[in-house]
Amino acid sequence: MRYIFISIVVILLNTSSVVEAASFNSVSISTVPEYPKPGEATSISLQSYSYELQGLPISWYLNGVFFKEGIGLTKISLSAPGLGSATSVKAQIGNITNTTLEIRPTTVDILWEADTSTPKYFLGRALPVDSSNIHAVAIPHLGNQDATNLIYKWYINGRFLKNLSGANRNTIVTSSPKLYDDYFLSLDILDNSGRTLGSNGVKIHSTEPEVILYNISPLLGVITYNALGAATIQESSIERTVLAVPYYFNTPSIGNLSYKWDIFNAEYIQDIGVDSITITDAQVGAGVSVEITNPEALLQSSHTAYRFKNYESLHNDTYGNGDYQSPFGSSE
């Protein structure tokens, strides 16, 4: 969605003061849509409570060049110019008056991301979850106009965010929607005279945190390109160190997350606060599960499980975030 500003300049040139007064107040010009996008089909129409425009000859000019004329031709259509360009539209109403407007499309983008955890070199977006924060940045595209000292008015579901709005407030940090919920974050930008230059809005949806298990290789480090449960890689030994990587937990809480590990079928252990665990050869056929919780945010929790098979057939099972099934119940 792009939002647009039109600077409308009405210039009335008349030969008598009487007509001047009448024309200034009696012919208005408007566009649909109100803020056309660059290149968007736009209709321009005249309205008057003083004149019977339907009976008057009306001539239209674009950037000073004749475009169309006709009796009662109160409406024309054209494509809005590109970003940074302007089209001057002039309507000459008989020899009574004329009116001009300028279409100068502008846009503003709203970019956002959540302040949630992802691996350092992860190529995907950090997503919002319950009790996380959203960082949003507005990038206005005003063509040749000055983009400094703009006023940014932010809204969530139409509710004005007074404390986050104001001059040069192009960046905000606000709470994410509740779990599985969404809201509409919108924005108006105005110049310092109070004219609206454009607006935009974006729907933001909260997802749930996720934990994914990866092997840690002594020489290669964390194998983040290949999650446990994704592909079968033949290895010479079952012994390995497994790392639980929390996706979409609050970044500021990342050092305080709780890890609860279970190894079953071989022995049972439970450990809190350690993000990795070593599986030994003695535990062939074992499964491992981990649950990560954020003690600072009750709904930020996730668990997953993985069953190791023997050396020859290292097929693996993952039980998916939020869809946990106990490996105890599975028959391999």
Partner 1 sequence: MEKRKIYIITTIVILTMLTALALWYAYIIRQEVSIGQSSELDLYNTTQELSGRVSGSTGGQTSESSTTVFGTPYGDTVVSNTSTNETVTNQDGVLETNILATEAYIPESWSLLQLHQSATAGHLTEDDSVLFIDTKTGTLLENTLDGETTNMTTDTIPNLIKSYFIDTNFILLVKSVGAPIIINTSNDRVQTLYDTVLQVSQTDNAIYYTTPNATRGITLKKISHESVKAYDVKPETVWTSNLSGWLLQATSASVVLTQKASYNIPGYSYLLPGGSNKATLTTLVQDAPSLITNISQDAKSLLYSTVDNDGIHLYLKNLVDNTVITLSTKTLASKCAWGGDSSTFYCAVPDSLPSSTLPDSWYKGQVGFYDSLWRINAQSGDALELAGATNLDIIDIQVKDSVITFKDKTDQSLWAIVKDL
Choices 65-73, 107-115, 175-183, 186-194 (CB under 8 A): range interacting with partner 1? 107-115
User: CB-based burial of residue 182 (10 Å sphere; 0-12 exposed, 13-18 middle, 19+ buried)?
Assistant: middle
Contacts of residue 281, Cβ cutoff 8 Å, sequence gap at least 6:
237, 238, 239
Does the protein bind partner 1 through residue 113 (CB under 8 A)?
yes
| Token pair 């991301």 in the structure block, residue | 113
Phi-psi region of 43 (alpha: psi -120 to 50; beta: other; left: phi over 0): beta
Interacting positions 254-313 with partner 1 (CB under 8 A): none
* 290 and 324 Cβ atoms separated by less than 8 Å: no
Does the protein bind partner 1 through residue 221 (CB under 8 A)?
yes
Does the protein bind partner 1 through residue 171 (CB under 8 A)?
yes
Does the protein bind partner 1 through residue 43 (CB under 8 A)?
no
Q: How many residues does the chain have?
A: 332
Contacts of residue 49, Cβ cutoff 8 Å, sequence gap at least 6:
26
Does the protein bind partner 1 through residue 233 (CB under 8 A)?
yes
Rule CB under 8 A: choose which of 202, 284, 299, 314 binds partner 1: 202
Q: Which is nearer to partner 1, 55 or 218 (CB)?
A: 218
- Reduced to 3 states (helix: H, G, I; strand: E, B; else coil), residue 203 is strand
Choices 24-32, 91-99, 120-128, 180-188 (CB under 8 A): range interacting with partner 1? 120-128
Q: Which is nearer to partner 1, 58 or 212 (CB)?
A: 212
Where is 313: in which H helix or E strand?
A: none
Q: Which is nearer to partner 1, 40 or 102 (CB)?
A: 40
Tokens of 126: 């950090």
Does the protein bind partner 1 through residue 325 (CB under 8 A)?
no
Q: Report, in Å, the least distance between residue 224 CB and partner 1.
A: 6
Does the protein bind partner 1 through residue 184 (CB under 8 A)?
no
Does the protein bind partner 1 through residue 2 (CB under 8 A)?
yes
Does the protein bind partner 1 through residue 40 (CB under 8 A)?
yes
| Token pair 């040139």 in the structure block, residue | 13
Does the protein bind partner 1 through residue 120 (CB under 8 A)?
yes
Rule CB under 8 A: choose which of 4, 27, 37, 263 binds partner 1: 37
Does the protein bind partner 1 through residue 224 (CB under 8 A)?
yes
User: CB-based burial of residue 234 (10 Å sphere; 0-12 exposed, 13-18 middle, 19+ buried)?
Assistant: exposed
Choices 25-33, 191-199, 228-236, 270-278 (CB under 8 A): range interacting with partner 1? 228-236
Choices 32-40, 262-270, 273-281, 323-331 (CB under 8 A): range interacting with partner 1? 32-40
Does the protein bind partner 1 through residue 79 (CB under 8 A)?
yes
Instruction: For 260, list phi and psi in degrees, rounded to 5.
Output: -120, 115
Does the protein bind partner 1 through residue 39 (CB under 8 A)?
yes
- Residue 207 DSSP code: B
Does the protein bind partner 1 through residue 127 (CB under 8 A)?
yes
- HEC per residue, 13-68: CCCCHHHHHHHHHHEEEEEECCCCCCCCEEEEEEEECCCCHHHCEEEEEECCEEEE
Residues forming contacts to partner 1 in the complex (CB under 8 A) are: 1-2, 37-41, 79, 83, 107, 109, 111-113, 115, 120-127, 135, 137, 139, 141, 171, 202, 212, 214, 219-227, 229-231, 233, 247, 318
